[in-house]
Amino acid sequence: VALLAVHPTLVFFAGTQWAETVYVTLLGLLAWSTLWAREGGPLRGLLPGFLLGLTVLVRGVATYLAPVLLVALLLPRAGSTAWRARSRHAAALLVALVLTVAPYSVVASVRWGGLVISDATLGHVMALGNDDFEPVTFDYGNGQLTGRVYGATLMRGRADCPRRGGPVAHDRCEVQRSLRWIGRHPGTFLARVPERLAQLLNPHSFLTRQLRWHAWHGIPWALEELLVAFQACFTALVVLGGTLGAWARARGPVGALTVGIVGYHVAVVAALYGLTRFRLPLEPLWIVWLAAVLAAPRDTVASLRAAPGRLVGAALSLPILLLLMARYAWTGWPGLDVLLPWP
């Protein structure tokens, strides 16, 4: 709780009422309710199903998150076969999910002449990361921060699909065009995965952008610099410390939920396009494992030593994450990029 309370980016997004604040709240409630549903009767499965439905309606990216919850819900304890008894919990979850999403989906599908689950934006986000221009982002120092720059970037890519036929037809067209581009450039698509992940793991955020634009005139220069540095260091601590803690301590339903939810979102970003605000809803789930490290560092070390596979996983993943974060760490301090060994 203390780590969440002093998380600078969470505080900023909550204060400015970005939609990520709602999404991160729903993800947290979703994780808690799934664990709660395991401990009672089948009807408890209705709550995580309802919350997942709300999450899908808030952000379409959550549309295919249900398998992660089902795994956590059905996962047996210590080799037991209790998953069979909890299959009714899973059925209740799916029923509640459908009943929550279906009313809006039916109305939107009829209104726009095609299947709409929660939105029709997949084609747009696919195009931003899979076109002739470099993957788009909107962060300070490495993004398209004005309409003019953004428009010039899009001009270097393929022509947009025509707007006739409504948003569903347009979205389908953009999805097909992006898939054709990927089919023609499979090597480029794969080569861009690290770039998208580096954009996601940039230790800065929209808070950096506001500070560098001097959006709050009453903040002294020294405090601005302190906030920029504190935010970058805090993010690095969450990503690296949380990953270490997850390798060491993530097991059972809690591990399946947190690692599954974070891994799902990271995979989506790897295929589409990266932005630091996509990372924000995931950090509270990773803070759980950072807290485990800080609360019991000796237990963390002992757990890694007792599981060589997890130790190897941590040893391999932490340097990779550090390199990905370093890719755009300089953006918080304009001009620092001249000192870096990469372009």
Tell me the pLDDT of the chain averaged across its residues.
88
Give Dmax (Cα) for the chain.
62
| Alpha-carbon span 199 to 87, nearest angstrom | 39
Amino acid at 143: G
In which band, very low, low, confident or very high, does the pLDDT at 82 lie, cut at 50, 70 and 90?
Answer: low
At 342 the pLDDT is 56
Paired tokens of 291: 């807290």
The whole-number pLDDT of residue 266 equals 96
95 contacts 46 by C-beta, under 8 angstroms:
yes
Q: In this predicted structure, what is the pLDDT of residue 142?
A: 75
* Average pLDDT of span 245-271: 94
Please, which pLDDT band fits residue 343 given cuts at 50, 70 and 90? Answer: low
Q: For residue 144, is pLDDT > 80?
A: no
Cα–chain center distance at 144:
20
- Looking at the chain, the whole-number percentage of residues with pLDDT higher than 90 is 55
Q: State residue 340's pLDDT score.
A: 62
Say if residue 295 is exposed, middle or buried (CB neighbours under 10 Å; 0-12, 13-18, 19+). exposed
- Range of the structural domain that residue 117 is part of: 2-339
Is the pLDDT at 215 greater than 90? The verdict is no
Identify the band that residue 120 occupies on the pLDDT scale cut at 50, 70 and 90: confident
How far is residue 164's CA from residue 36's CA, in Å, rounded to a whole number? 47
For residue 136, the 8-state DSSP code is: P
Predicted local confidence at residue 258, as pLDDT? 95
The region of weakest confidence among 152-156, 173-177, 247-251, 315-319 is 152-156
Average pLDDT of 297-315?
94
Identify the H or E element spanning 306: helix 297-306
Give me 297's structure tokens. Answer: 């560092």
Burial of 271 (0-12, 13-18, 19+ CB in 10 A): middle
Q: Provide the pLDDT confidence category of residue 28 given band limits of 50, 70 and 90.
A: very high
pLDDT in tens, 319-341: 999 999 999 888 888 767 656 65
> Residue 105: CA atoms inside 13 Å, Cβ hemisphere, count?
16
pLDDT (tens digit per residue) in 259-303: 999 999 999 999 998 888 899 889 999 999 999 999 999 999 999
b/e sequence 174-212, b meaning 16+ C-beta within 10 Å = bbebbeebeeeeeeebeebbebbbbbbbbbbbbbbbbbb
**What pLDDT score does 341 carry?**
57
Q: How many domains does the chain have?
A: 1
pLDDT confidence of 76, banded at 50, 70, 90? confident
Counting residues of the chain whose pLDDT is more than 70, the rounded percentage is 94
> Of residues 153 and 241, which shows the higher confidence score?
241
Cβ–Cβ under 8 Å, residues 274 and 196: yes
Residue 157 phi/psi, 5-degree rounding, is -100, -170
What local confidence, expressed as pLDDT, does residue 198 receive?
93
- For residue 235 the two structure tokens come to 């993010």
> Taking a C-beta distance cutoff of 8 angstroms, is the pair 70, 118 a contact?
no
Mean pLDDT confidence for 187-205:
93
